[in-house]
Amino acid sequence: MRGIEGFEMVTNEVVAWRRYLHENPELGYALYNTANFVVEKLASFGINHIEAGIAETGIVALIHGELGDGPTIGLRADMDALPILEASGKPWASKISGKMHACGHDGHTAMLLGAAKYLAAHRNFKGAVALIFQPAEEDGRGGEKMVQEGIMERFEISKVFGLHNYPGLDIGKFSICSGPIQAGLDEFDIVIRGKGGHAATPHKNVDPIVIGGQVIVGLQALVSRNTDPQEALVISVTKMNAGNAYNIIPDQAEISGTVRTLSPSLRDFAEKAISEAARGIAGGFGAHVDFRYRRLEPVTINHEAETKLAVQAARGLVGTEAVNDRIKPGMGSEDFAYMLEARPGSYIFLGNGPTASVHNPEYDFNDEALPYGVGYWVNLVETELAA
Ligand code: NI
């Protein structure tokens, strides 16, 4: 276990990689230049087991330790940017108008490359490390696709770890918790089919707009009256569409929204309860409901033993006080959740200092955080895979 002093020498090179990635953002699965850059760097570190083209532009590279046989642990970085016009004003700002690294995945990729270089040079561990570079975290479920393409089995990965920068948390600090750390994300569509007609003769119609209003109010009561107040569930209606004239009652109204929760069983509840409430309310007025519910991201759930290991690796780097191991979970979502469904593991937040928040046009990954991310990965490997 090394303190942060042990990693400061890697900084200059990792900063250059990070800024190159920042200047050249790519979206979703179309990470051709980014993936080439990553493969080129990995090869230059003397890593010869590199598999590219997983989930289109994802990469897994294996580094074997020199301390004997042992398990393989996975370290994951996401590589994709966002469709945002950058306003950071930095010299290394995006060269591609309308695309930017506004979530710090450029930093995540650079830090895992920094750790790869260090681990390949020292190999002071048993077993092996699988470096997982993932496309389409923001939109497209690249994490799920890599799991579906069999990376856990093919590379015999027994545990998997993730990391994300956290604006507002000081540089050199980490935060994490055992159990749910990021919310699950689902979406729903409710189509209320009534009977349209002249606005002056409501008694001859089944008005989907009035029924839709009742349905929206009814959904609000599900959280306040049907779920445990100690458990987090958000049901937000975010879209309504109906009608296009002053004097016509339309045939149908559409209501859409999102569900966020920290509990897998509350996702089951939400799907059933929203459907039943919408059908029940609309049925009472003589309308019919078509209902669709899509499960987009599972709850990100940190496993207990692996979270202890993550805390130990971070505390070895920055000291006990700088690692908060009881953070309150966030209601955002993260597709690393799919990897944590496939294998035990843990996901930690790394302080990004007082920067703009992620997904903001003024955001920039903080280069001062780079040695902490590299050091965390190396400590994690050398602790878990100690001889
Ligand atoms: Ni992100």
> Which pLDDT tens digit goes with each residue over 297-316?
999 999 999 999 999 999 99
Q: Is the pLDDT of residue 11 over 70?
A: yes
Contacts of 22 (CB under 8 A, 6+ apart): 90, 92, 93, 94, 101, 106, 364, 365
Q: How far is ligand 1, taken at its centre, from the CA of residue 366, in Å? A: 14
Task: Determine the distance from the C-alpha atom of residue 138 to the mean position of all C-alpha atoms in its chain, rounded to a whole number.
Answer: 7
The mean pLDDT of 71-76, rounded to a whole number, is 98
pLDDT digits (tens, 9 = 90+) for 158-191: 999 999 999 999 999 999 999 999 999 999 999 9
Task: State the pLDDT at residue 275.
Answer: 97
Q: Is the pLDDT score of 10 beyond 80?
A: no
Mean pLDDT of the chain: 96
Confidence at 1, pLDDT banded by 50, 70, 90:
confident
What is residue 72's predicted lDDT score, i.e. its pLDDT?
98
pLDDT confidence of residue 370: 96
Closest-CA residue to 167 (of 104, 84, 105):
104
Q: Which amino acid is at 255?
A: I
What are the DSSP E strand ranges found in the chain?
A: 49-54, 58-64, 72-78, 128-134, 157-166, 174-175, 179-182, 184-193, 197-198, 233-242, 248-249, 252-261, 288-297, 300-302, 323-324, 345-351
Alpha-carbon distance of 182 to 293, in angstroms, equals 20
Distance 364 CA to ligand 1 centre (A): 12
Q: Which one-letter DSSP state was computed for residue 348?
A: E
The protein residues having their C-beta less than 5 angstroms from ligand 1 (an ion) are: 103
Task: Give the pLDDT confidence of 349-360 residue by residue, as tens digits.
Answer: 999 999 999 999
Structure confidence by residue, pLDDT tens digits, 205-234? 999 999 999 999 999 999 999 999 888 899
Mean pLDDT over residues 272-295, rounded? 97
Gap from CA of 28 to ligand 1 centroid (Å):
12
pTM of the model: 0.90
CA of 105 to the centre of ligand 1 (A): 6
- For residue 327, the CA-to-ligand 1 centroid distance in Å is 18
Percentage of the chain modeled with pLDDT above 90: 94
| Ligand 1 centroid to residue 335 C-alpha, Å | 9
pLDDT for residue 140:
86
Please give the distance, rounded to the nearest whole angstrom, from the Cα atom of residue 158 to the centre of ligand 1.
24
Whether 318 contacts 173, CB under 8 Å: yes
164 alpha carbon – ligand 1 mean position (Å): 7
**Taking the CB of residue 50, how many other CB atoms lie within 10 A of it?**
17
Handedness of CA 104, 108, 111, 113 (dihedral sign): negative
CA distance 116 to 127: 15
Question: CA 339, CA 76: separation in Å to the nearest integer?
Answer: 9
Could you give the domains of the chain?
4-180+299-384 (3.40.630.10), 184-295 (3.30.70.360)
> Distances from the Cα of 111 to the Cαs of 11, 118, 336, in angstroms?
9, 11, 17
pLDDT of residue 7: 82
- Whether the predicted pLDDT of 266 surpasses 70: yes
List helix spans (H) across 61-175.
105-122, 142-148, 151-154
How far, in Å, CA of 267 to CA of 52, rounded? 35
Of 368, 37, 39, the residue nearest 171 (C-alpha)? 368
pLDDT at position 9 over 80? no
